[in-house]
């Protein structure tokens, strides 16, 4: 694909966004940016420094001192805060269960959205999150809204957790996912919402390759 385009992938927790976005970026030779990892990294730092996740100003000060960087890797994209790797640490349940509170602050979002726009500046980007098509890259050429049933998402998270040595019961995961969906889609600032010009892709019952192909077909249609 010669044309440099921006691809925005949004959707609820565990709908498969990062897996699919990463494969797409690799196949297209694009940069992949996982914006959820940025909110997670801030949450992780707040826990490390015992900062109250409801204290917006303290979080913003912390964020301003944080250098966030990514490094592509075969399995998961590596995430660094001030050059220290936090790839695994930001996926632990303590971070997962607090991140919605941190991500709800408007000043936190303003700062992270600014950084995300800068990363996307050069085009050739696949960015995933909750507000990419609506707030971060409203002019993205391709916008995908990826969904899947709560049961299937909990099941995927369960398997992913097990491979990372985390053993949270399936029912707990279902409850946590439903709660996070609620918080992410009911917050005042940039709630999770399908952009008007986004294409809905339901991944329930589909394998990763099938989802990737569906999105490639959508991209081909959009750029032709």
Tell which residue, 146, 157, 126, 128, has the closest CA to residue 203: 146
Binding to ligand DC by residue 158, rule CB under 6 A?
no
Instruction: List binders of ligand DC among 1-30 (CB under 6 A).
Output: 13
> Should residue 99 be labelled a site residue for ligand DC when binding is judged by CB under 6 A?
yes
Q: Is 191 in the site for ligand DC (CB under 6 A)?
A: no
Cα separation, 102 vs 45, whole angstroms: 11
Q: Does 129 bind ligand DC (CB under 6 A)?
A: yes
Closer Cβ to ligand DC, 19 or 35, answer by number: 35
DSSP 116-178: HHHHHTTS-EEEEESSIIIII-TT-SEEEEEE--HHHHHHHHHHHHHHTT----HHHHHHHHH
Q: How far is the CB of 221 from ligand DC (least distance, A)?
A: 25
Query: How many positions of this chain bind ligand DC (CB under 6 A)?
Result: 13
Element containing residue 78 per DSSP (H, E): strand 78-81
Exposed/middle/buried for residue 3 (C-beta within 10 Å: 0-12, 13-18, 19+)? exposed
Site for ligand DC in 32-91 (CB under 6 A): 35-36, 39-40
Which residue's CB is nearer to ligand DC, number 7 or number 13?
Answer: 13
In the complex, what is the shortest distance from the CB of residue 12 to ligand DC, in angstroms, rounded to a whole number?
9
Interface residue with ligand DC among 100, 134, 161, 203 (CB under 6 A) is 100
Q: Which two tokens stand for residue 196?
A: 């008007």
Number of helical (H) and strand (E) elements in the chain, helices listed first: 9, 8
Closest contact distance (angstroms) between CB of 127 and ligand DC is 8
The residues binding ligand DC (CB under 6 A) are: 13, 35-36, 39-40, 99-100, 103, 129-131, 180, 184
């Amino acid at each position: 694909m010669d044309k440099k385009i921006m691809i925005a992938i949004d959707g609820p927790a565990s709908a498969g966004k990062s897996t699919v976005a990463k494969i797409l970026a690799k196949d297209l030779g694009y940069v992949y940016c996982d914006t959820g990892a940025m909110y997670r990294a801030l949450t992780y730092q707040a826990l490390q420094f015992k900062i109250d996740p409801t204290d917006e100003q303290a979080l913003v000060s912390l964020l301003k001192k944080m250098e966030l960087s990514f490094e592509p890797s075969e399995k998961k994209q590596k995430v660094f805060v001030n050059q220290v790797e936090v790839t695994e640490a930001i996926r632990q349940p303590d971070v997962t269960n607090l991140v919605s509170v941190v991500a709800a602050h408007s000043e936190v979002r303003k700062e992270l959205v600014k950084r995300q726009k800068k990363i996307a500046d050069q085009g050739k980007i696949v960015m995933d999150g909750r507000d990419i098509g609506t707030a971060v890259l409203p002019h993205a050429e391709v916008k995908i809204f990826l969904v899947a049933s709560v049961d299937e998402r909990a099941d995927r998270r369960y398997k992913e957790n097990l491979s990372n040595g985390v053993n949270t019961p399936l029912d707990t995961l279902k409850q946590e996912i439903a709660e996070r969906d609620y918080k992410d889609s009911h917050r005042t600032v940039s709630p999770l919402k399908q952009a008007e010009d986004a294409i809905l892709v339901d991944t329930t019952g589909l394998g990763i390759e099938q989802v990737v192909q569906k999105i490639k077909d959508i991209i081909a249609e959009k750029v032709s």
